[in-house]
Structure 1
């Protein structure tokens, strides 16, 4: 998710596909002019162009990794993961758009027996995408590539902290496809994002805080512009009886500390059954203690991309300890400028900030519970509902817990596995937002359904005409009773 951000110290390098400044209207007008030609392309032609873009992205992956790392401070391994995930999603969206969106015949039913019924999906026109700073490539690409595959033009507004990625995407898309105005990037602060919402786009895909999402919705409401919003999470992991503790601990540490904890679907809370709690905490602590955060490309994770986020992390740690929680690794002193060392907290009260609010740092809360049902109740008590994970010795019990977890996506025996599977929709409920990106749902999110009927023969009775007779009405009444009583 995106927190409130501060302007970068330097203006980003612009390109023909990038507009810098406080007015996104020229970019939207250019995209609007380009949209019809892009929409008229066949699914196959768009597929081929998007796959060409993907291949260029992969051939220049080292360059893109450097841009991501420079913008965010994250190590190259984390940036590589973003590029890999993004390539998979471009590939899936390009390959599956025709199957999902092309017109198809549907059943006509008894009353429409004389009709051939088809439904298809048309592009919206121009989609505005407002991206975050924590995953400046992967997160917005979940909207960008699906919107493009559906036949839309896109105007992308990256975070002001990570403009380089947006410039790179516009450049390479133009190079690969020859359709430079179909994907344009606008750079600048929050005022540019607000202006984009009011610039006449046909839909806005937003990633950020729930508070900012409300402002985006209010602006879009003035023109009835629909939005899809992903607003972060406070994801929980459940560790049930019989769980593989080595695997669960490894997943918990990566889910909590990877990308310096700046992951919307990262693990922030863990509920462990009583008999496994002590052993699990020890395994997590040992793994976390061995991490090496730093500002080098080889570090396990990097600094806080948003400097003020470090203060939020410090506040949550201090509040947890003040309320009776225990810091078994690290503590308030782990926050040193924008670098935060790994922090493991246990027995934290459920009303503490570290349990209720998104910490977005390399911390993890591990609380003991009597059983898996108590773990589920606590996991579901949050106003957020983005992702979650379950580890259990029983496959049946794990599936039951996953189905009842209040979240848009859940991984069993892993963390955030759903993000790597392009066919799965992604999105949350409650404070985590609404709408879906990725998968078939993501393609349809950036399309409008179009229904068409065609009469194929004439019925012996016609009740949709003023020439209908009493006999027609009587026969219709008889059919109604026979069919529905």
Structure 2
């Protein structure tokens, strides 16, 4: 594995104080005016700021103004006033805004990618996934707006005389708590669906990646989003999160299962809905007939994309005994060929972890496993020579239930290998634990793999692919089973969650009760006769 010296790539960044020819961790910094323009969009009056430092080199990036609980209340008040008018805006106009956002994201993607890398440290090819997915989401929901949100006709109780329509009424103001691992993408994809459905949004991004989320807010404004419909607040989750939930009409949260439980309980207390994408200990199955080159390539992406800091990444790989040794040889070789570096340029395969806290957690999992007998096939240690938070992509063998990384989410570039003798055993082991977010199956028999997929307790299952097939298929829902969450983003469910369902029925000519002098008993007989007739005619 090798490191590359970072070089400026344009956009909102300038080279920092280090000399790149003498220091492999040459720093980057944001133009102060650029950061100030973004943070001006915050609703924050506390007078306090929080410093943000780049995981690429631990150099300061910006000072983020902090919000008070009063600022959260003010943000919701503004958003609620704006939402009344927005909910009456024709659906076609809301959809047109998303198409303009699509174009702006593509036009400014280099700037977006630079900022994502500066805040999160991820490799450029993984940062590229974020504007790509936002553009895909915006275009998908714009093109399917009428299909998902238009008034729909339903079958009335009396055909021809009962007209029934179903409307989708916006919830009101949606509260979003977004994470640091996909700071631009996850700050926008839920929110733009909520906007399309006629809602306003108040969002609290993670403190580490606030600027990427604020750039998304700027692009929405440039696309023509009316003032005050999108409000951003900043501050500690323990203070600002509860204040946001207290005011919201619906909550979207992406993060840990422990925090997700608290969010769900707070929403339940208020009888409001929520959608939660939480933790995972995702399994990948390599069946005996798998194409081993494809499986090894996919396993590398599945395990080490964004340094393993991806909710749908794989942390457990189950390999059929018949092909285990050949797969491991290929997987280890591909992993050892990965290039690590703290750079904004294309070419690296993996960047650093987000913080010292994340590095400590990953290191603790690996050290615990090794101390209890696990074998390191490659990797296994931090790389401070590359940057402050680098950890080598690591493959473990011989992991047992008494090791922390067996069942707990590592959320880093660490994966464990397991042999299996028969597929029933592999399925049972893949379903162990409390999580159920994403799975992957490699087999050249698609029919058999799809049958196995139905037995795996995960919200998404990819066949002959790591995670991108489901993640990028916007017409399909995405989310977790069991303790990996509730609700879905993407597809019809991803936008309908932000609406209330309203049924409107118009009755003509007859009423539901005796008429023309008919007795109650006679009316009951007539209705029974009609039921039998409808049954014979095959009507609903």
- Alignment TM-score, normalising by the size of structure 2: 0.83
Separation of aligned partners in 1, 2:439 and 2:273: 27
Answering whether residue 453 of structure 2 is matched by residue 405 of structure 1, we say no
Separation of aligned partners in 1, 2:483 and 2:153: 38
Per the TM alignment, residue 86 of structure 1 is displaced from its structure 2 partner at its CA by 1.1
Answering whether residue 397 of structure 2 is matched by residue 355 of structure 1, we say no
Q: Which residue of 1 aligns with 2:43?
A: 19
Per the TM alignment, residue 142 of structure 1 is displaced from its structure 2 partner at its CA by 2.7
SS of the counterpart of 1:404?
coil
SS of the counterpart of 2:208?
coil
Per the TM alignment, residue 479 of structure 1 is displaced from its structure 2 partner at its CA by 4.8
Contact 1:241 1:393 in 2 (8 A): no
In the TM superposition, what are the counterparts of 1:270-289 in structure 2 within 5 Å? Answer: 270-289=317-336
Answering whether residue 312 of structure 2 is matched by residue 312 of structure 1, we say no
Contact 1:242 1:394 in 2 (8 A): yes
Structure 1 stretch displaced more, 304-313 or 349-358: 349-358
Q: For residues 287 and 167 of structure 1, do their structure 2 counterparts lie closer, same or farther at Cα, with a shift above 3 Å needed?
A: same
Contact 1:205 1:228 in 2 (8 A): yes
Contact 1:418 1:424 in 2 (8 A): yes
Per the TM alignment, residue 214 of structure 1 is displaced from its structure 2 partner at its CA by 1.7
Q: Which residue of 1 aligns with 2:438?
A: 387
Per the TM alignment, residue 79 of structure 1 is displaced from its structure 2 partner at its CA by 1.1
Per the TM alignment, residue 164 of structure 1 is displaced from its structure 2 partner at its CA by 0.2
Q: Which residue of 1 aligns with 2:488?
A: 436
Answering whether residue 350 of structure 2 is matched by residue 301 of structure 1, we say yes
Separation of aligned partners in 2, 1:53 and 1:180: 16
Answering whether residue 467 of structure 2 is matched by residue 419 of structure 1, we say no
Q: Which residue of 1 aligns with 2:241?
A: 193
Contact 1:157 1:166 in 2 (8 A): no
What are the ranges of 5 or more consecutive residues in structure 1 without an aligned counterpart?
1-9
Contact 1:425 1:442 in 2 (8 A): yes
Structure 1 stretch displaced more, 463-472 or 425-434: 463-472
Answering whether residue 178 of structure 2 is matched by residue 131 of structure 1, we say yes
In the TM superposition, what are the counterparts of 1:50-449 in structure 2 within 5 Å? Answer: 50-109=98-157, 114-190=161-237, 191-198=239-246, 200-298=247-345, 299-332=348-381, 337-416=388-467, 417-449=469-501
SS of the counterpart of 2:285?
strand
RMSD: 2.4
Per the TM alignment, residue 410 of structure 1 is displaced from its structure 2 partner at its CA by 0.6
Separation of aligned partners in 2, 1:278 and 1:15: 53
What are the ranges of 5 or more consecutive residues in structure 2 without an aligned counterpart?
1-31, 45-66
- Alignment TM-score, normalising by the size of structure 1: 0.92
Q: Which residue of 1 aligns with 2:12?
A: none
Deviations 1:226-247 (A, max 9, x none): 2111112111111101101111
Q: Which residue of 1 aligns with 2:18?
A: none
Structure 1 stretch displaced more, 445-454 or 170-179: 170-179
Q: Which residue of 2 aligns with 1:451?
A: 503
In the TM superposition, what are the counterparts of 1:4-15 in structure 2 within 5 Å? Answer: 13=36, 14-15=38-39
Q: How many residues align?
A: 474
Separation of aligned partners in 1, 2:216 and 2:449: 40
Per the TM alignment, residue 18 of structure 1 is displaced from its structure 2 partner at its CA by 2.1
Contact 2:282 2:315 in 1 (8 A): yes
Contact 1:314 1:335 in 2 (8 A): no
Separation of aligned partners in 2, 1:72 and 1:372: 38
